[in-house]
Amino acid sequence: MGALLSIPLLAVPSMGTILTFAASCCGAATCSAVFGACGKCGNSVATRIAYALILLINSILSWVMLTPWAINKLQHLTLDYMTIKCPDGPCHGWVAVHRIGFALGLLHIIMGVLLLGVETSKNPRANIQNGFWGPKILAWLALIVLSFFIPESFFFVWGKYISFAGATLFLLLGLILLVDLAHTWAEYCLAQIEATDSRGWRGILIGSTLGMYAVSLAMTIVMYIFFAKSGCSMNQTAITLNLIFFLVVSFISVHPAIQEYNPKAGLAQSAMVAIYCTYLTMSAVSMEPDDRQCNPLIRAQGTRTTSIVIGAIVTMLTVAYTTTRAATQGVALGGKGHIKLPDDDEHNLVTQQPDSRREMRAAALRQAVEEGSLPADALLDDDDDESDGGNTAKDDERTSTQYNYALFHLIFFLATAWVATLLTMQTEDATNSDEFAPVGRTYWASWVKIISAWVCYGIYTWTLVAPIVLPDRFDFS
């Protein structure tokens, strides 16, 4: 399997060797091994890890194809059938990146359509999501090969409009889920404090809030010292506005009017939003080009190729992790935000005597899961022992899927669009045919991060003032 994926990597022998090994690791055997190695993590978790690995491999392959040497070798392998050029001249893999992203994106769209309406692993179509890794890997590789036979004119439209729109939606989705995570974290801590009156939970909530504010201020000071020197007006503006915004949202979160309509709002949520937006701003100023002498990190780099390779891999890992989290966190999107249990009653009373010790144990387990004392897959232990026999992988979705399968693949499709857009929005010209392209080191990428931080502040502020503006839509009593 790895040999098939390594064909376009012959241009860069060292990276080709590495990625051939990585591709082999993403074959059917290893995807199955993920399930076995995952132990008690459950079938759904292993599935998500496998899809994240595929996205990671696809992203790194796309990045390698940005090198002029690799794209020239690809043209040679096709017997000069393809001469990859953009309307304004040679584009060094621009089209190849969008071809590879399109291939994986199309696979996710097809799978999303096939999995519409699947709610439990008992549905035969659920096997498409959690199994058949060999056919899925083959289909992915086949789509990559077939994409290179599609006319380039299609990808000029795809890359400039469709992929860009998908990337924008992916960024917006990530911001919404971040704000939702901030509220969920704070409300969970408050619920634990109210339920147990634990000093430990009070310490966690207060400590994490103060810690996030401290880190946010520390990053702001570092940015002012190293990236906001004289003549760096873009950096000065971005850093100052970020500082003003996170002070403003912190004040709004504890304003008496906000507390009256939403007493659970507070500094814990603001701290999480502040540290994330400050990180985005710091990432933006530290990854911008150094044509104005405003980025000392670039001038301080020892080995440029090594730093670019490490930076690219870290970026791809971050995208894969973020995508997996976003695809399975459905609270903010109206998806499955909780564990659905069978035979839910409108009350918590036992209306009849259980027929056996086993039923009594099942009832006790169900109550423990509802109270949060045990994980959801504890309900499945007994069923697995009897019905599954020798299966080693735990099926934690027999009563209900842990996430919406179709939405999962839609978000992965948007992630492929974001990766392709991030890789192809380059303003630096490659001067050395052997160089790897830096990922995200453009003013475009920096401004995307800066504006994303501002939008995140806006979304969070709206969640604070919305109960005041639309009181009938919210009930915090």
Q: What are the 10-residue block averages of pLDDT along the chain, 477 residues in total?
A: 40 41 48 49 74 89 78 69 55 78 94 88 85 91 88 86 88 84 86 84 90 93 88 89 94 90 87 91 81 69 53 66 66 47 46 56 69 59 47 58 84 88 63 51 80 92 89 67
Report the DSSP beta bridge partners of residue 86.
Answer: 89
Please report, for residues 187, 263, 374, the alpha-carbon distance to residue 259 in angstroms, rounded to integers and kept in the order given: 14, 4, 33
Show the tokens assigned to 97.
Answer: 């990146």
The pLDDT value given to residue 143:
94
Full-model pTM: 0.69
Beta-carbon count within 10 A of 187 CB: 15
Name the residue with tokens 């993403």: 26
431 exposed, middle or buried (CB, 10 Å; 0-12, 13-18, 19+)?
Answer: exposed
* Unique residue bearing structure tokens 């890794």: 133
Query: CB-based contacts of 464: which residues, under 8 Å, 6+ apart?
Result: 249, 252, 253, 258, 262, 265
Contact 284, 238 (CB under 8 A): yes
Tokens, residue 138: 């083959």
For residue 30 the two structure tokens come to 């290893």
Cβ atoms 425, 444 nearer than 8 A: yes
* Sign of the CA dihedral running 293, 298, 299, 300: positive
Residue 409 near residue 105, CB atoms below 8 Å: no
Q: What does the pLDDT read at residue 216? A: 93
Per the document, the length of the chain is: 477
